[in-house]
């Protein structure tokens, strides 16, 4: 074997080995990412199941230090907050999405709204909470479910706007033209023909936004504030599951730690169901 | 026409809300900013009792935990993205993508709970002493090992930025045209060399954008960090010491602040955080948009 061929072979072998090593590193990274997910969810499941019982899901919290009690009011509070948040963010978000898709394909204003909606996604949730505090807590003079749901709605808003716009854009123009050719006014074409066609996709976006909002804690700290009792009055402070988990986790009581894990299990299940539902709905999107 | 006006109005509402965030924060922060001036962001003192506020410890904590998160989570996320976009067999691509996206769906308070009771004890007993033994000659890695502190905050954030960076990088890498890969393979390059020399350079600015989006998330993340950082307004010499972040101090002190000046100082910290994340996000969006819409690899 002459020197040249030998060197080429060695060189080629080395290149192959280097390639294998780096390919292996990417596999390792992916394994690590997935492994961390299983480590977190696994602990939540194992620790949570041992704390899960009927009392947890039907009772309100006991005073500090007393064992027992549950987070039922917090689960209901979270549902109330998310429902109110939808009441605010869906009309605004879907409306803005319709504007972007149907009337503002180009144009400076639409481009600006699109950009701001994207940037809004990146505003820290705690800052959104501060905003909700200035808008609804200071004028009302006290914490309330209304303020909390305003903050959650603001967090949902950009996702709803962009999902609506993108899904409406996927609806073929021939469908709009068919409607208009029949003499149906433009707004009716949008509301009765285009919107229902894109409904599944929009629903996916909404469910993802709900999943994110339901797990938020930071913006609720000084808006919804938390409440050890039952409350369904939007103008009063209300408990929320993530808040309750936070309070229990940083408390010094073992029983509360146990309830924090169980609460986390309930919360993770809620969020996973919402995001799984989003995926199932998306699977049925077709035009 | 009425309908168009209505939806246009709703679109403007989005703009109005965004502007409202900035304006209301500025308004509420004004008293503290007038009292302390720019020193509010440069002094290393935070004393609610004597009403003396300087947010340098919190700014330091926010920046250092975020940098730690990017340097630990960034490579893992990028590796995951390359695996998903280039090397993963078809049957594995969907499930792994979904699982990585699930990382983003886990609520931050759950990460905090896990960080407090699982990660912090683990780091205190194993990782921190090991790092201390090897790199202890640097002040950054000297004990004592508390468990909760800047280091643990950074690691928790590293986990939380992975889904953001991985998902965006994966999309950016897939947006690189196959011509690039085919040309490189035709030259006899290995699959890794194709990725390294033909794909990654073309996707570079988009990947940078993805990392910035991750940075934006790390800077603003509140609950998980609040639960593991130690919550002490100081600049520890060691990464293992307890610290504070801008988001965490708002979360901890806002509902209990008694004086107007204290509230105003917290609003000012929130305003600083808002501006910081806004800048990072704007740059990130522009970079990602350019790659996704413009010609790829035209540098």
pLDDT digits (tens, 9 = 90+) for A42-79: 999 999 998 888 888 889 998 887 888 889 999 999 99
Burial class (CB in 10 A: 0-12, 13-18, 19+), B294: exposed
H helix or E strand, kind and range, residue B285: helix B260-293
How many CB atoms within 10 Å of residue A92?
A: 21
Q: How do residues A103-155 score in pLDDT, each as one tens digit?
A: 887 788 898 999 899 888 889 999 999 999 999 999 999 999 999 999 999 99
Domain count for chain B: 1
Q: Which of A36, A116, A221 sits opposite B14 (nearest CB)?
A: A116
pLDDT score for A286? 42
Q: Please give the share of chain A, as a percent, with pLDDT higher than 70.
A: 96
The reply to whether A64 and A23 lie within a common domain is no
Tokens for B193?
A: 């060399």
CATH number of the domain encompassing residue A98: 1.10.3720.10
Q: Which domain covers residue A43, as residue numbers?
A: 3-51
In a domain, B152, yes or no: yes
The reply to whether A115 and A239 lie within a common domain is yes
In a domain, B103, yes or no: yes
Q: Which domain covers residue B218, as residue numbers?
A: 25-46+53-293
C-beta of residue A190 within 8 angstroms of C-beta of residue A102: yes
Nearest CA in chain A to B277: A123
Nearest CA in chain A to B282: A119
The reply to whether A99 and A226 lie within a common domain is yes
Q: Indicate if the pLDDT at residue A4 is higher than 70.
A: no
In a domain, B12, yes or no: no
From B187's Cα to the closest Cα of chain A, the distance in A is: 13
Q: What is the DSSP string of chain A?
A: --HHHHHHHHHHHHHHHHHHHHHHHHHHHHHHHHHHHHHHHHHHHHHHHHH--HHHHH-PBPSTT---B--HHHHHHHHHHHHHHHHHHHHHHHHHHHIIIII-SSSHHHHHHHHHHHHHHTS-HHHHHHHHIIIIIHHHSS--HHHHHHHHHHHHHHHHHHHHHHHHHHS-HHHHHHHHHTT--HHHIIIIIIHHHTHHHHHHHHHHHHHHHHT--GGGTTTTB--SS----TTS-B--HHHHHHHHHTSS-HHHHHHHHHHHHHHHHHHHHHHHHHHHHHHT---
The reply to whether A11 and A114 lie within a common domain is no
Identify the bridge partners of residue A61 per DSSP, sorted by sequence position.
Answer: A69
The reply to whether A84 and A201 lie within a common domain is yes
The reply to whether A75 and A24 lie within a common domain is no
Nearest Cα residue to A36 out of B38, B199, B106, B132:
B106
In a domain, B1, yes or no: no
The reply to whether A85 and A199 lie within a common domain is yes
Asked if B247 and A102 come within 8 Å (Cβ–Cβ), the reply is: no
CATH number of the domain encompassing residue B32: 1.10.3720.10
C-beta of residue B124 within 8 angstroms of C-beta of residue B222: no
Lowest mean pLDDT among A28-37, A184-193, B125-134, B286-295: B286-295
Q: How confident is the model at residue A3 (pLDDT cuts 50, 70, 90)?
A: low
Does B111 contact chain A (CB < 8 Å)?
Answer: yes
Taking the C-alpha atoms of residue A181 and residue A193, their distance in angstroms, rounded to an integer, is 13
The reply to whether A22 and A63 lie within a common domain is no
Q: How do residues B40-65 score in pLDDT, each as one tens digit?
A: 999 999 999 988 999 999 999 999 99
Q: How confident is the model at residue B268 (pLDDT cuts 50, 70, 90)?
A: very high
pTM of the predicted structure, to 2 decimals: 0.93
The reply to whether A269 and A171 lie within a common domain is yes
Tokens for A249?
A: 């986790």
From A1's Cα to the closest Cα of chain B, the distance in A is: 22
Most confident of B5-14, B75-84, B127-136: B75-84
In a domain, B17, yes or no: no
Chain A residues near residue B2 by CB distance under 8 angstroms: 187
pLDDT score for A10? 83
The reply to whether A23 and A77 lie within a common domain is no
Q: Which of A117, A225, A246 sits opposite B223 (nearest CB)?
A: A246
Cis peptide before A197 (omega within 30 of 0): no
In a domain, B147, yes or no: yes
Interface with chain B: mutation pick from A38, A124, A185, highest number of B CBs within 10 Å: A124
Nearest CA in chain B to A213: B107
Domain count for chain A: 2
> Rounded to 10 degrees, what is the CA torsion of A128, A133, A136, A140?
170
Chain A residues near residue B231 by CB distance under 8 angstroms: none
The reply to whether A136 and A21 lie within a common domain is no
Asked if A99 and B282 come within 8 Å (Cβ–Cβ), the reply is: no
In a domain, B276, yes or no: yes
Does B207 contact chain A (CB < 8 Å)?
Answer: no
Q: Quickly tell me which residue has 């990782």 as its tokens.
A: B127
From B291's Cα to the closest Cα of chain A, the distance in A is: 16
Identify the bridge partners of residue B46 per DSSP, sorted by sequence position.
Answer: B53
Q: Which of A92, A96, A122 sits opposite B216 (nearest CB)?
A: A122
pLDDT score for B295? 47
ipTM above 0.85, yes or no: yes
Q: Indicate if the pLDDT at residue A164 is higher than 90.
A: yes
pLDDT score for A77? 94
Nearest Cα residue to A260 out of B114, B206, B220, B66:
B114
The reply to whether A27 and A167 lie within a common domain is no
From A39's Cα to the closest Cα of chain B, the distance in A is: 9
Interface with chain B: mutation pick from A153, A154, A168, A217, highest number of B CBs within 10 Å: A217
In a domain, B192, yes or no: yes
H helix or E strand, kind and range, residue B47: strand B44-47
């Amino acid at each position: 074997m002459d020197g040249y061929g030998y060197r080429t072979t060695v060189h080629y072998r080395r290149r192959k080995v280097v390639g294998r090593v780096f390919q292996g590193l990417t596999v390792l990274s992916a394994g690590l990412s997935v492994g961390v997910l299983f480590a977190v969810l696994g602990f939540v499941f194992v620790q949570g199941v041992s704390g899960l019982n009927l009392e947890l899901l039907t009772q309100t919290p006991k005073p500090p230090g007393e064992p027992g009690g549950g987070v039922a009011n917090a689960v209901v509070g979270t549902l109330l907050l998310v429902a109110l948040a939808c009441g605010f963010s869906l009309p605004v978000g879907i409306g803005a999405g319709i504007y972007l898709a149907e009337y503002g394909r180009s144009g400076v204003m639409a481009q600006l709204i699109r950009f701001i909606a994207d940037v809004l996604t990146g505003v820290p949730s705690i800052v959104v909470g501060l905003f909700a505090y200035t808008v609804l807590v200071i004028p009302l003079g006290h914490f309330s479910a209304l303020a909390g749901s305003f903050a959650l709605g603001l967090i949902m808003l950009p996702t709803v706007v962009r999902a609506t716009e993108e899904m409406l854009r996927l609806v073929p123009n021939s469908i709009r033209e068919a409607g208009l050719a029949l003499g149906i006014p433009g707004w009716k074409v949008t509301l009765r023909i285009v919107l229902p066609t894109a409904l599944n996709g929009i629903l996916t976006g909404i469910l993802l936004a709900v999943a994110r909002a339901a797990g938020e804690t930071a913006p609720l700290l000084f808006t919804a504030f938390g409440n050890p009792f039952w409350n369904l009055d939007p103008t009063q402070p209300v408990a929320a599951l993530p808040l309750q988990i936070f309070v229990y986790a940083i408390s010094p009581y073992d029983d509360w730690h146990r309830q924090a894990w169980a609460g986390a299990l309930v919360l993770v299940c809620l969020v996973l169901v919402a995001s799984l539902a989003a995926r199932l709905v998306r699977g049925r999107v077709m035009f | 026409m009425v309908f168009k006006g209505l939806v246009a109005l709703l679109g403007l509402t989005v703009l109005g809300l965004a502007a409202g965030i900035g304006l209301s924060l500025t308004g509420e922060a004004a008293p503290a900013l007038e009292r302390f001036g720019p020193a509010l962001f440069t002094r290393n003192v935070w004393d609610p009792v004597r009403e003396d506020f300087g947010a340098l410890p919190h700014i330091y904590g926010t920046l250092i935990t975020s940098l730690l998160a990017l340097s630990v989570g960034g490579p893992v996320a990028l590796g995951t993205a390359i695996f998903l976009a280039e090397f993963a067999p078809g049957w594995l691509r969907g499930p792994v993508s979904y699982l990585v996206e699930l990382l983003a769906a886990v609520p931050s308070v759950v990460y905090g709970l896990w960080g407090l009771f699982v990660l912090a004890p683990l780091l205190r007993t194993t990782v921190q002493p090991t790092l201390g033994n090897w790199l202890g000659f640097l002040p950054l890695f000297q004990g004592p090992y508390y468990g909760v502190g800047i280091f643990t905050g950074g690691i928790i954030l590293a986990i939380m930025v992975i889904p953001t960076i991985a998902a965006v990088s994966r999309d950016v890498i897939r947006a690189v045209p196959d011509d690039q890969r085919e040309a490189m393979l035709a030259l006899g390059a290995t699959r890794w060399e194709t990725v390294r020399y033909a794909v990654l350079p073309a996707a570079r600015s988009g990947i940078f954008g993805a990392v910035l989006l991750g940075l934006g998330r790390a800077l603003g993340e509140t609950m998980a960090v609040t639960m593991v950082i130690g919550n002490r307004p100081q600049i520890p010499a060691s990464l293992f010491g307890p610290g504070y972040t801008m988001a965490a101090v708002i979360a901890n002190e806002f509902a209990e602040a008694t004086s107007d000046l204290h509230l105003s100082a917290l609003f000012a910290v929130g305003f600083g955080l808002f501006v910081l994340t806004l800048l990072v996000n704007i740059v990130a969006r522009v970079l990602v948009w350019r790659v996704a819409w413009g010609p790829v690899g035209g540098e």
